[in-house]
Structure 1
Amino acid sequence: MNWGLYAEAPRFEVPDLNNTKIVVENPDHNTIATIKPESSIFIYLSGIFYLLISSIFLFRYFKNLMTISKNIRKSSKVNQSTGYILLTNQFQKYSFSFFNYIIIPKESLLNKKLTNTIIQHELTHVKELHTVDILLIELIKCFYWFNPMIWFIKNEISENHEYMADNNVIKQNTNVSDYIKQILSSIYHSRSGLRSGFSFVTTKNRLNMLTSNNHSTKKKWVRLILAMFLIAFTFSFTSFNPDKSDKDPFIVIIDAGHGGKDPGSPSEKEINLKISKEILNLSQNSNIKIILTRENDEYITLSERISFINNQKADMLLSIHCNNSENITKNGPEGYFSELNNKKAISQKATEILITNQVNKFSKEGSIKSADYKILREINIPGVLLELGYMSNKEDADFLLNPVNQKDIAKNILQSLNEVEKELRK
């Protein structure tokens, strides 16, 4: 980087890897902090724990599906009234429905009254496709088990299913007292959770519904609407794009360093511009409004840049550069802010966010420095000068020249700007 444009500081020339003379800055800056990647052990263990629990839920999910399928295959068809298949199995201890299959214990067939009640109950589950709801919420639970809202939603869905089935049975002139006795006689049986069954764990709520007046219908609909609202809320929260906001846009001026007759380091002016334009591109659907100091390969003086920046009424400046050093082993990003900037505290915080995110994503180390650079000192908004890496270092240069990496860097910077916005709006 040719620091003659950005700083009133001594310069000296050093050869780069291609024997091209490069003017670099005087390295005498005040280093505020050296940033290293955050320890990944917690993230790693958290990921392992999440995968372990999700795997257990998925194993249970598919194991239960196989068990149900096995029960259906081993059962024998005894009736096909109303177009639904009724099966029985001498080893089955409880009734349930799964899609259009209704499993009834053989011992239940001895009591015709009980059999008719069970059929009416299960037919409601079949007709309303309750199995689809159950399979879907159980599958979602395998991946979002950590969200208590999912468990609440699952309970509300299942309870509403049972309410609908019980209500249908009562409409058939079934004696409520007898029906309650049948429910109580079945509560000791267990089931997998993937099927709709006559025996259901929320027995207390069912009994309250059956013994209450008609106002319970209204309450159930209110609970159903609430459950649907919570489902919508959960998924909208999961897919929420933190970039989008109804607030006033956060205006950031991106200064693509150098340009035109001022190339900076080898390939620097091109890298700076490509990343700056990519940030602009990615920001279109966000609350970040990007303004570029240059959109083409053109030369703009330092005074012109500062004048442009101060006339924009922006919230922040980010000047993007690539570094150089006579020490070819020196690498990693560096962030600069000015102690003389009238928004020094915000500038320093923004520098910390940008460098920390760059290091965590792309590098082994980075540093935060204060420097009396004119472009940082004379602007009337917070300002950060970000050195993405050293073009004098082969590893950094190869990384920065890669178009895929340039897009990743732009994405990371935009994410950092979102974090800076949150800090400023506190």
Structure 2
Amino acid sequence: MLEHELTHVREWHSVDKLLIQLLLVFGWINPILWLIKKELEMIHEFIADQKAVRDGDTAALASMLLTAIYPQQRTLLTHSFFFSPIKRRILMLTKNNHPRFSYFRRVVVLPIAFVIATLFAFRTESSTGHVALSKTYTVILDAGHGGEDPGAKGADAVSEAKITLAIVKKIEALNTNPSIRFVLTRSQNEFVPLQKRVQLANEVSADLILSVHVDNLPGKSTPTNDVYITKLSNHPAYAESKFIGSALVSKLQAKGMNADLKTRTANGIYVLDAPKAPAAIVMAGNIASEKQVEAMRSELYRSDLAEAILEVIEKYLQQKEQLKKNESIVSRVTEVEYTDEYGLKKTLKGGGRIMVHGHPIFSLNDFSYVKTLIDSITNNGKYKLDYSVDGQKVDKNAFFATKPADIRYAVFLPLSFQGLQNTKSDSWGKVDLITIRNSSRNNPKNKYSVQDIQIESIENVKDKPTVYVDGKKMDNVEALNSIDPNEIAMVKVLKGDNAVKKYGALAKERGVIEVM
């Protein structure tokens, strides 16, 4: 302890204290000076302690410091040891003074810090988890142009063919769903004729065709991500094409992209009009805009666009499975009678298929898809659509206020189906929700009476299905001819596991027709 005090004298610590006191006379209001004074006193103590333990008697000095501060046992409500300079002085006294050990600790920390920094540098790809599908679906990914046909060129000579190929490859790379098989019309910068692209889609029995192109709109800086579908309303996959196109537009708009559903009314588009499968073209951006070209070259933009397209593809295929997974109407309707909201009896003609409960396009399992379909029909408000629930006319808000759990099926009645193609009306037609509560065939208010029902190709089937009418098994299929079509409210076909679960193993091969 004597050596400690002599060190203060030899190092002229009193002079340091006088100088800081003089500074405090003029700058007493400055808190920084008070902190300097406090730390200066601690430095003096550290120096004196270090000189006092030169002979290695560290434990003795630490013990004397504690004895000097706490000369007797006292019980206090608070303990000031951790808030006093004593703790810092003892820590400094017991600090390891071996440079080799200190160096070793620093060397060990370096690889640990490197590993931690490396782990945090990796960013996992965002994933929503793939949708479970019952079988493998084939989707054609068509990169526009290629080879001797570079397509449009940007300001820095980048070609449409190069951009579209990079995007379709990104879609394929991000796919984690084993039930979706992508087939590319071209995997490198090569020229593939349009006829060969369509031929490939038909050969592999594609379930969907997705083509990627870019717009070339000089002078327009606004990003464009429009979606094109076939203009042929009589195309066998027109409804599905319109649905997938509308779903793509909704998803791209949700991501903040400027998207709209369009058709080329002049010459049409071969890759949309010629294939048997539903098809759509997605515009990746405007190649005439330098900012858009820069965006289309970035991995972030390509990933966002690819993820949006993948999500829509999965949900479309999931909805499509509802047709085979659940019950579905397979009857072909040549005439349908109904009573409109004004009490007038009308007859709908056309021979088209009424698609109701279980159909991927008109399924109400996901109400958001019904809204998407209605938006595509009305072109987001450009055309009118009459809404009704159980035959009663309602406004759009009341229509969508119906609980999905209360809905049994929906009937879409376009004017074209009614034989009114030349009408001057701006209404597309009518959509009617039939609820569980009011869907009884004995309720004339909402009954759609079938004048002529034909079970398709039933005569050519060797093992004809079993028929149940109102839960009662019929002797044969021909018994359907004895039923008054006006009394039929619904026809269902059960196949596979659904039929076996309800009617036994015999129904697995032959299937069951339910008439209610």
Q: Scaled by the length of structure 2, what TM-score is found?
A: 0.35
Structure of higher CA gyration radius = 2
Specify which structure has the bigger relative contact order, considering alpha-carbon pairs within 8 angstroms and separated by 6 or more residues: 1
Structure in which a larger fraction of residues adopt helix: 1
